[in-house]
Amino acid sequence: MEQYSTCANCDKRVCESEFSDQGPDNCPTKTMHSTLEEVRTEYAKPDVAEFARQASIQEFECYMRLPEGLTPRNPRVEETAQFAKKMGYKRLGVAFCAGLRKEAGILDEILTRRGFEVVSVCCQVGGMPKETIGITEEQKIKGSGKWETMCNPIAQAKILNESHTEFNVLVGLCVGHDSLFFKYAEAPTTVLIAKDRVFGHNPAAGLYLSHSYYRKLRRKETLPSDT
C-alpha cells in the first residue's frame, strides 16, 4: 500500500527541531520533497508571505513572557480582531448559524466597536426549503409536513463575496455546511465557533472525554464501502 503520512501517531516529531530529516520512513518531511518545494514557492508570493508572517506574529503575541513561564493571553475573538487589524482589513464577513444568532450579534458588536465594517449573513438566507436539496419529510428536524428552511452556506459565501469582505469569520456552521462555505468563499476565512451541540461548541471536549464518559466515541466500525 502507498505510504501515507501519519503525523498524528508519530513519536519522533523531529520536524519540530533542526533534525527534520530524521523522521520515520513515511515522514512527509522526508518523502515529499517536491511538494515542499512547491510550498516554498507559494510562501514566496508577496500576499501569501505577508499573510503567513502576520499570522505568525499574531501567534507570538498570544503569549506573555512572565517570570513564572510562558502564559497565553488572548481569547480567540481578541486574536481574530488583532489579526484582521494587522492585515489592514476594514470589512469583515460573519457567516453564522441561525442557532447562534445571539453570539453573532455579540461578535458584530465587538468587531464594530473595534473599528471594522461587519457584513453578517445568516445560514437561513434565501429562505429555500430543504426539499431543494432532496431532504424528505422524514428527514426534517421539526417533523414531517413542516416547513424547514435549508442551511445555505453557498449563498452566505456568495453574498460575502459580493460584499467584498476581506476576511470572514464563521460562527457555528454545521459540519459540511462549513465545508461548502470554505469552498465558495473568496476571502480567507477563520472559524470563531465550531458547532458542537453537545459540548457547548467546544468539540475538543469530545476528545478529552473519549477515554472516560464518552468512551463510545472510540468504538470500532467499518466503512459502508468495506462491507
- Which positions touch ligand SF4 (CB under 6 A)? 7, 10, 12-15, 23-24, 27-29
Cβ at position 5, least distance to ligand SF4 in Å:
6
DSSP state, residue 149? B
Cβ at position 94, least distance to ligand SF4 in Å:
35
Cβ at position 10, least distance to ligand SF4 in Å:
3
Cβ at position 194, least distance to ligand SF4 in Å:
24
Which residue, 16 or 226, has its beta carbon nearer to ligand SF4?
16
Question: Residue 28 to residues 19, 31, 34: CA-CA distances in angstroms?
Answer: 14, 5, 11
Q: Distance between CA 36 and CA 29 in Å, rounded?
A: 8
Cβ at position 28, least distance to ligand SF4 in Å:
5
Give the residue carrying C-alpha cell 510550498: 39
Which residue, 35 or 144, has its beta carbon nearer to ligand SF4?
35
Q: Helices 153-162 and 177-184, interaxial angle, to 10°?
A: 30
Which residue, 15 or 194, has its beta carbon nearer to ligand SF4?
15
Neighbours of 200 (CB within 10 A): 8
Which residue, 7 or 154, has its beta carbon nearer to ligand SF4?
7
Q: Which residues contact 11 (CB under 8 A, 6 or more apart)?
A: none
Q: Distance between CA 162 and CA 157 in Å, rounded?
A: 9
Which residue, 14 or 87, has its beta carbon nearer to ligand SF4?
14
